[in-house]
Chains A and B, each alone.
Chain A
């Protein structure tokens, strides 16, 4: 079965600094990949999804971007973080109709 690796687990970054969160998947090929954000007191919000290398769909306008340079690698980036970017970021993989999630990255922008 697939395993999803996310790092780092926690991150504290100053406002205006860049961001790079990485997600890699093992145990499957050509998966659909997703980035979700879970803000305090709110539900899970889909940020980006990808059906293949170089194919990224953005769900909400924001200062974040995503890239998929390899089949099983999904990267979430920002050039300049905002306070509102704080939250819990989750990478997910679709295998068939089922979703599998990584352990998440807790990002605090200060």
Chain B
């Protein structure tokens, strides 16, 4: 059974720092990996989707990389801002062009203080 682990569980940094959030998964037979953001008491917002054939995806200050063979992904946040404070979740899918089951990590709770 696929297991997804996220490290660290929590992170507190001053504004302006560059951050790396880590995600690892046990079964490398994934089709894609997604990073989500969750604000307290809210639903999930999709940030980046990396297909298994891709190495990375970028959106603004966010960059996600995928090393499928080693079962790892990182989310890099450049020049962090207080508005980035949220829980970040990664999830891997067991299906390709159509969304299958998503296996989630427990998330990294990020606090960026001014």
Contact = CB atoms under 8 A, between A and B. Distances in A.
Interface of A is mostly: strand
Interface stretch (B18-26, B68-76, B99-107): B99-107
Nearest to B107: A43
Given A98-B34, A101-B43, A104-B41, A44 B97 contact: no
A43 B3 CA distance: 11
Interface string A62-105: 00000000000000000000000000101010111111111110
14 contacts: A6-B43, A32-B99, A32-B100, A44-B102, A59-B101, A92-B102, A96-B97, A96-B98, A97-B32, A97-B49, A99-B99, A99-B102, A100-B46, A104-B43
Interface of B: 4, 31-32, 34, 36, 41-46, 49, 51, 89, 91, 93, 95-102, 104-107
A98 B104 contact: no
Contacts of B101: 46, 49, 59
A96 B99 contact: yes
Given A43-B106, A43-B107, A103 B43 contact: yes
Contacts of A97: 31-32, 49, 51, 93, 95-99
Contacts of B91: 44, 99
A103 B93 CA distance: 21
B97 to A, nearest CB: 6
Contacts of A106: 41
A43 B104 contact: yes
Contacts of B41: 88, 104, 106
Interface centre among A6, A43, A94, A100 (most CB of B within 10 A): A43
B43 A90 contact: yes
A98 B36 CA distance: 11
